[in-house]
């Protein structure tokens, strides 16, 4: 994937992950792994972490805190916000 310069790297990653969620490539309950995503996209874990926070603010994912703090789950299509 090639990233554009006019958006921050985290915003570009968030857009990429959001498209996967909206297309149904990631389903409700799917776990998004920060380290795996960073490796696949060849970016830092910090950039992926920031992208996940962007997606949480946009109500596309839920970040679950607890024993396993890296659990992030995609929301289902019925849960996606309408704009």
Full DSSP string of 51-73: HHHHHHHTTSEEEEPSSSTTEEE
CB 52 within 8 A of CB 34: yes
The residues pairing with 62 across neighbouring beta strands, listed in sequence order, are 73
Averaged pLDDT for residues 35-47: 90
- Distance, CA of 21 to chain centre: 8
Threshold 0.85, pTM exceeds: no
Rounded to whole angstroms, how far apart are CA atoms 43 and 57?
21
Rounded to whole angstroms, how far apart are CA atoms 31 and 61?
10
> Residues 54-79: pLDDT tens digits?
999 998 888 877 645 444 566 665 55
- Closest C-alpha among 56, 36, 57 to residue 45: 36
């Amino acid at each position: 994937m090639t990233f554009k310069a006019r958006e921050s790297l985290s915003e570009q990653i968030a857009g990429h992950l959001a498209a996967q969620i909206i297309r149904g490539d990631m389903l409700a309950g799917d776990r998004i792994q920060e380290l795996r995503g960073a490796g696949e996209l060849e970016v830092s874990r910090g950039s992926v972490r920031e992208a996940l926070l962007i997606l949480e603010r946009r109500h596309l994912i839920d970040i679950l805190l607890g024993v396993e703090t890296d659990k992030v789950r995609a929301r289902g299509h019925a849960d996606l916000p309408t704009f």
